[in-house]
Structure formats: C-alpha cells, structure tokens
Structure 1
Amino acid sequence: MVLLRPVRSIRLKIGLVFGITFFSGFAAAATYVFYEVKKVLIQQENRALDDRAARLSERTSLYPLIIPLPERGEVLALWYTTNGSTKRLYQSPRFPATISGIDSPTISRSDTFQLTRFVRNTEGGYGKLTTIVGRSNRPLARQLQSIGWLLIGILLLSMMLSSLGAWVMSGWLLRPLKAIIDSARSVNLAEDVTPIPTPNSKDELLELADTINDMLARIRQAVDTQHNFFAAASHELRTPLSILRTEIEVAQREAINDRERRFLASQLAELRRLSRLVDDLLAMSQLRAGTLQLRPERIELDDLTLFLTERYHAPINQRHLYLSVQLDDAAPSLTILADLDKLTNVLLNLLDNAVKYAIPNTQLDLSIRQQHETIVWSLINQTTSVVPDPNRLTSEFYQADIRHDGYGLGLWISHQIVRLMSGTLTVTATEGWFQAEVRFKNQSGQPPFEN
C-alpha cells in the first residue's frame, strides 16, 4: 500500500497531466516545424540543383564539343535534339538506369538521387540541349534525420523538465493542503485536535482551512461535552450505587427467607455490574481528558499476583479451572514501579477475561519472568471463542464475543493505564489459545519517579 500511495497523489497527477499536455502540444509543434524545415531544405536543394544544371548547360559546347565533368557525388547526362532526332552526348557511369531519356520530369527522384532537367537552345537555334544533373539525397536525408532526432531529444527533455517543474510547483502550491491533511489526521485522537494553520493564499485553500477549523472546533466542543458528561454522570452515580450495595449487603444479614435472599443476591449482582460500568466510564473519560492521576510506588509483582489469585480463587473454582503460577526463581527481584490500585484493576481485568472465556476443566498458565531489564507478566488460557480481528481487542467498545457480559472497555482501559505507567500490554489470539502479556521495566534499586 505504501508503494501505491504516491500513484494516487495529486502532485503526480498534476505532473502527468502537465507533462502529457506539454508533450502533445510540443509534439504537434515539433512535427510542424520538422516538415516546414524539410520543405525549405528540399526547396533549397532543388534551387541549388537547378542552378548547377544551368551552369553545366552553359559550359557545354557542341562546336567544338566541350562537356564539363560533374563534381564528386554528382551524375550528369546530356542529350542533343535536332530535326526530330535525339542523340546522347554524355552520361555518367552512375547515372540512374530508370532515367532513359529526356522525357523525365523537371524534378524527380531516382534510387538515391535527386534529379533536375535544364533545356536550352543551342547556338544558332539548330537544336536543343537537354542537361540532367543529379545529386545523392543521402546527405539531405541524414541532415533531416539529425534534425528529427534533435527535436525528439528536445521534446523528451522538455517533457521531463516540465513534469519536474510541475511536481515542484505543485508541491509548493499543495503545501498548505499537506498541513491541512496532517492536522485533520489528529482528529483520530481528540485530545490532539489543534486548529489548522491558515495559509495567506487568499484562495480556496484558505476557505478549506477555515471550514475545517470550524468543524474541528465543533468536534472539540462535542468531545469535551462528552467527557464532561461521562465524568459528571459517573461521579453522580457512584454514590447512590454504593449506598444501594451497602443497604442490600446489610439486608442480606437480616433474618429473611430463601426467596428474599435470592432476590437480594440477584439485585446485588446487577448493582455490581452497573458499578463496574460506571467505573469504566469514569476511567474512560479521565483517560480521554488526560486527567487520570497516578500514584507510582514500588510493587513486588509476584507478591501482588499471588494475593490477587487467592482473591480470585472462588470464580476460578466455579468455572472448574486450574491455575498454574510460575515465578522466575532466577530473577533477583520482580519489582516494578506502578500505581498499585490501577495495576490491581488491570490484572484483575485480565484474570476475569481469562476465566470468562476459558474452556471449563482446562488450565490457566500464569507466569512472571525477567527478560533482560524487563518484567513480563503473562496469562494464557484455552478458548473456543473466535477473535476475527485480534488487533482490535485493545480498542474501546470492541467485543470479540457479544454473547458474554461486558461493554468492550476493559482491555482498552487496561492498555491505556499500562501505557501511562510506561509499560506495554499486548494480547494475542490464535486458534484455541488466548494470551495477555504485560511488560514493565525492572525497577529494582531505581529511585521512584514523579508523576
């Protein structure tokens, strides 16, 4: 695709159109000039040949018989006509055999010779002397060929120079458009939307830049409104949801029957799911607005992982799964620098995804190892879910399997949080297997950083 991209560029199209137009016009002009030059050269050659024939005829004498010799490259034939009879006085050895007499046209071509005929009355008016002189037309043909190649060379060179000039000029003219394109691409990241610099051209490019700036301003306003709404709504919803969860948990401890207990348990599960959604929306708005606060500290990743696996032991057993934890015993330390609360949410989200999509009665392989100066946290599970586009797993609102609960925000939020903590989160999906991998720099012995 990168190779095909320049073919579709406006600059190349302008260069091609200008080059083809220039080529067509110059080719027509060059053809006309060539034929005009050819006609002039032939006319000059014919006049020179006529003059030569006249001079040779004047130098020819019958009494006494004097015949001038032709020059090198010329052919000559002389006929004397008197009383209805014609006698050939002289003919050059290379004289064309196709010219058999004096009835040839005034100007003719024969083989490689250009011929002309001159007739004059002899002294005393007793007869007519016919002189036919010819010259090889190869020098003229070579001269015309040289002129033709010269015109072709000038045509090709001019077309190349005109195309190059059109390319350079179009690049200069389209420079404001390139700036517009680069600024418009920032719309993909709403936080990077900046006004497009307006050119001083006072033409359509200025109008386009102003129009796009107005559009970007409206987009920026809409994005800010969306972020503010999500943040405000999430903050407002968290308090009543927490109160409802607390009241239901307290009510479950009261003396109630089994039917009421099942009803409260169902309501509590829905409240927890709604609370997770509110937390995700709040995190999304903070990430989009760049207001998410991090409190970095040194964390022993192996200790945190073992604590979370114990905390997540019940869901693992409910799905009849087996968890295998492998720690790198050769690593002197598995210390990283991260926000403890945010990292806990990330690892719990990855564990939750693995448990949710894993095949029952299979094993989850969790490992922590050191690779050079990097700590790698990896979780692998077997799954029957088909992921059509693994690269979109860390995109917001993307769900590989809509049959499961969720809103497609967990992996995207985890990816963004890990990125803010100077780490990387990668997920890969192959046939029957899913792997989530988190990488952090080993911070053993390093001073804490400031957020």
Structure 2
Amino acid sequence: MMTAIRPARSIRFKMGLVFGATFFLGFTGAAGYLFKRVRAVLVEQDNRTLAERAGRLSDRTSVYPLVIPLPDRGEVMALWLISGNARKRLYQSPRFPADSSLLTSAAVVEADTFRLARSVRHADDGYGTLITLVGHSSRPLHRELRSMGLLLLLTLLASILVSGLSAWWLSGWLLRPLRAIITSAQSVSRAEHTTPIPIPNSGDELQELAETINQMLTRIGQAVDTQHAFFAAASHELRTPLSILRTEIEVTLREAITDRERGFLHSQLTELRRLSRLVDDLLAMSQLRAGTLRLRPERIALDDLTLHLAERYQRTLNERHLFLAISFDETADHLTAWADLDKLTNVLLNLLDNAVKYATPGTRLDLSLTQQADQLSWTLSNQTTAPIPDPDKLSREFYQADPHHDGYGLGLWISHQVTRLMEGTLHVSGAEGRFRTEIRLPSSEGMPA
C-alpha cells in the first residue's frame, strides 16, 4: 500500500523550511545590528545638536547684568547659578522636568518626554558656576526610530516571503527529476508491468537512482514472467489429469459399490473439485497478470442466470439450514447485462460460495437484482458471526479472512479483476454482523445485437 506523504514531511517543504529559517536568522541578525548602528548614529547626532545648542545659549547668558536668551519654540531651558553650597535658579521653562539630579547628571539625559543637554561654565564675575540645561521633546527621535524599526520589520517579512517562494520554486526545480521518477514508478505499479522509468541525463545521484530502479524492475519483471509462465503451464498440465480422475470417479459412483466405498469416492470427488477450482483460479490469475484473459461479451439475462445458480446451490443451502430470499426489480424494463457468461458465472459462484461459507446457520441470505440508470446491481448479503475484515484487504490476492475455512484467498481478487474487465464494479462491505457484496454491470441496452 502506497504511503501518502504529508506536505509537512516532504523534502521540498524541509528544504524550503531550512532555507527560510537560515535566511530569517541571518537577516534578523543583520537587521538588528543595522538598527542598533543607525539608532546610535541618530542618538549621537541628536546629542551633538543639543550640546551645541546648550553651549550657544550658555554663551549668550550673562549674570551681571542678568541677560537670559529665550529658548526656541518646542525647547525647554533652565539656568542655575551655583556658588559654593548656594544654588540659585535664574530661569526655568514652564514644562521643564522637576528633577534636581539633572544638575549633576550626564551631558545628555532623558527626563519625562524630553532629552536634555547640560552646559557648565564659570560665571562672568568668576564667582560661581553657571549651568545651562536645554532640551527638546524626545518623541520625534523615538518616532523616527519606530518608523525605521517598522520599515526593517516589513522588509524582513517581505524578504522572508520572497525567500520562501524562491526556496519553494528552487526546491521544486531541483526535485523535478525525482518527482518524474516517482510518477513513473507509480504508473508502473498501477499498470502492473515493469516498463523502465525515464532516466534523467543529470549525471548526479538522481540518474544513479533511476538506473538502479530500472535494474530492480528488470529483475522483478523477469521473476513475475517466470511465475506467470509456471502458473499457466502447471494449470494447463493439471487440468487434464484432474478432469480424467473426476470423470472416472463419477462413472464409478454410478456402479454398484458398497456404501463405504461410495463415501470414500465422494470424499475424493470433493477434494478433486477443490483442486480443480484452485487450478482454474491459478490459471485465471496468471492470465490476469499477463493481460491475456480474453472476454466474449454477450447479452445475459441476469435474472435467469441468478435463478439457475440459486437452484444449483439449493442442496448446499439445505445442508447448512440457510434460506435464500431473491427479489427482482419489477419496475425495470429488462434485467439483461452485457458481460462474458462464463466469467460472470464464475464470479457469481464465488460470491455465493463465500456467502454460504461464512453465513450463520439458520439465517437468511438476501439477494436482489435492480436496475439503476444504465447499470444492473446484483447484491448479496448474509449474516455472520465471523470477524469482518477490512474490505480493502479482501481485494488482495492470497488474502484469507479466516484461515480455518477452505480457500486460498484468490476468489475475491479474481472477481474484482474480472468485473473490472467487464467494465463493472465490485464492492464489499460489512457492519454489525452482516456482510454485503454488490456487483454493478453495464446494461445490454444500446449494445450490438
């Protein structure tokens, strides 16, 4: 069974993820470093501007006589005269931060929503120190830094998107030969043949992989051909002696023999029929595998064929105390199918065999035949106490739902394949102790006479 690859586990996704993660980490580191450098430059430039402004205002300030230059619009300023332990405030703007530690702080500080620069010089008379504090709002600088950070973030996201799409396209381009190999290998599996897959002329590991797969397919094809030839030859060789033995036993049973001898012969006849059925199945399997099974489609009155098979199984049904209820679609114009009579008979016999074999004794088998558009539906259901396996497994060759029952696990597989060749479908299902099989075949309406 082919395992479906999840997109999150594909090589293409992993390559894109690794490439995207590498690019993300690299670009994030570079963007972070760039942001720090630009921020340092902007802050340093703003500090220098404030310091120069504070120096100019300090130079224009006079204590005796008192001359105080006014700050520009948007600026705040404070003037302090310190003489010994005495400290006198000469001027302070209305919105200036009320923090006395600013007098002894660094050259440029942030207080509240302002950035302040401090200028210190001696007073005009030589007694005391004049401290000038000038500042402006820190919001423009922060706004500019936020804008730059947002721009870098958007650039990062756009770059990740572009790099992700580029990585996805690049990985797809690199893996295109591998995808071609997978597609070809899947078509080989579906077609059940061993046609070599195309070999890319790339000179790399993909070419080596394709060549290795073709060598493996060649060996598999040889083994399969040998197996088919053996099954076909063995089946043909066994059919004749088995037919002779069965005929001789049937003739002997008509003669006057003891009951004990008759019992032995009946037992041998049962085993011969079972072996003949196995030989027929092996021959059909080899023909299906080799594609040599030929069909001769014709008009088949499916209702008459169903009644004939039911009459044929009546003795077996009585022995197992089973009752077969048959219903036909009375509204159908006709119940005539377009199929191969011999092959369809074998398919229906196989389905009846399985139903009788696994049905609970004393229960009823329901068989219905209806017309649905341009198809006929032949449905058989039975009650059973046996475990109902997965319907998908029942269509596999050599699969046995219950190894304690007779059979080799070929019947349903052959029925599936033959029904498909007749352009029909075979569905099996089971639930709550009831098993159901349905065959849909094309109606003979519109077919050549």
More displaced stretch, 338-347 vs 282-291: 338-347
Match of 2:321?
320
Match of 2:25?
24
Cα separation, partners in 2 of 1:100 and 1:364, compared to 1, 3 Å: closer
More displaced stretch, 222-231 vs 192-201: 192-201
Distance in 1, Cα, partners of 2:336 & 2:84: 130
Match of 1:364?
365
Counterparts of 1:238-277 in structure 2 under 5 Å?
A: 238-277=239-278
Q: Secondary structure at the match of 2:435?
A: strand
| TM value normalised by structure 2 | 0.90
Distance in 2, Cα, partners of 1:177 & 1:138: 57
More displaced stretch, 185-194 vs 14-23: 185-194
Distance in 1, Cα, partners of 2:224 & 2:380: 35
Cα separation, partners in 2 of 1:78 and 1:365, compared to 1, 3 Å: closer
Counterparts of 1:397-412 in structure 2 under 5 Å?
A: 397-412=398-413
The Cα offsets for residues 272-306 of structure 1, whole Å up to 9 and x where unpaired, read as 11111010000011111111011111111122222
The Cα offsets for residues 104-152 of structure 1, whole Å up to 9 and x where unpaired, read as 4333333232222323456686765443322222221221122122212
Contact 2:374 2:445 in 1 (8 A): no
The Cα offsets for residues 313-335 of structure 1, whole Å up to 9 and x where unpaired, read as 33223223333333334333221
The Cα offsets for residues 48-87 of structure 1, whole Å up to 9 and x where unpaired, read as 1121122222323455543221111222233456788665
Match of 1:133?
134
Match of 1:172?
173
The count of corresponding residues between Structure 1 and Structure 2 is 447
Contact 2:396 2:413 in 1 (8 A): yes
Structure 2 portions without partners, runs of 5+: none
Correspondence 1:280 to 2:281? yes
Q: Secondary structure at the match of 1:422?
A: coil
Match of 1:230?
231
Distance in 1, Cα, partners of 2:117 & 2:304: 113
| TM value normalised by structure 1 | 0.90
Match of 1:396?
397
Match of 1:414?
415
Distance in 1, Cα, partners of 2:335 & 2:138: 95
Match of 1:155?
156
Match of 2:308?
307
Cα separation, partners in 2 of 1:275 and 1:133, compared to 1, 3 Å: same
Q: Secondary structure at the match of 2:360?
A: coil
Cα separation, partners in 2 of 1:57 and 1:326, compared to 1, 3 Å: closer
Letter in 1 for 2:138: N
The Cα offsets for residues 155-200 of structure 1, whole Å up to 9 and x where unpaired, read as 1221222112211211221222222222333454462443222223
Distance in 2, Cα, partners of 1:5 & 1:66: 81
Distance in 2, Cα, partners of 1:52 & 1:296: 105
Q: Secondary structure at the match of 2:439?
A: strand
Cα separation, partners in 2 of 1:446 and 1:122, compared to 1, 3 Å: same
Match of 1:55?
56
Cα separation, partners in 2 of 1:124 and 1:309, compared to 1, 3 Å: closer
Cα separation, partners in 2 of 1:99 and 1:342, compared to 1, 3 Å: same
Cα separation, partners in 2 of 1:93 and 1:428, compared to 1, 3 Å: closer
Contact 1:19 1:163 in 2 (8 A): yes
Q: State the Cα distance separating 1:24 from its structure 2 match.
A: 1.6
Correspondence 1:331 to 2:332? yes
Counterparts of 1:289-300 in structure 2 under 5 Å?
A: 289-300=290-301
Counterparts of 1:66-215 in structure 2 under 5 Å?
A: 66-80=67-81, 87-99=88-100, 102-121=103-122, 129-186=130-187, 188-189=189-190, 191-215=192-216
Contact 1:415 1:425 in 2 (8 A): yes
Q: State the Cα distance separating 1:268 from its structure 2 match.
A: 2.2
- RMSD of Structure 2 on Structure 1 (CA): 2.7
Letter in 1 for 2:249: I
Cα separation, partners in 2 of 1:96 and 1:288, compared to 1, 3 Å: same
Q: Secondary structure at the match of 1:47?
A: helix
Distance in 1, Cα, partners of 2:84 & 2:228: 119
Distance in 2, Cα, partners of 1:445 & 1:389: 37
Distance in 2, Cα, partners of 1:196 & 1:256: 65
Cα separation, partners in 2 of 1:244 and 1:55, compared to 1, 3 Å: same
Q: State the Cα distance separating 1:406 from its structure 2 match.
A: 0.7
Contact 1:78 1:129 in 2 (8 A): yes
Q: Secondary structure at the match of 1:67?
A: coil
Percent sequence identity is: 66
Q: Secondary structure at the match of 2:100?
A: coil
Distance in 1, Cα, partners of 2:47 & 2:134: 11
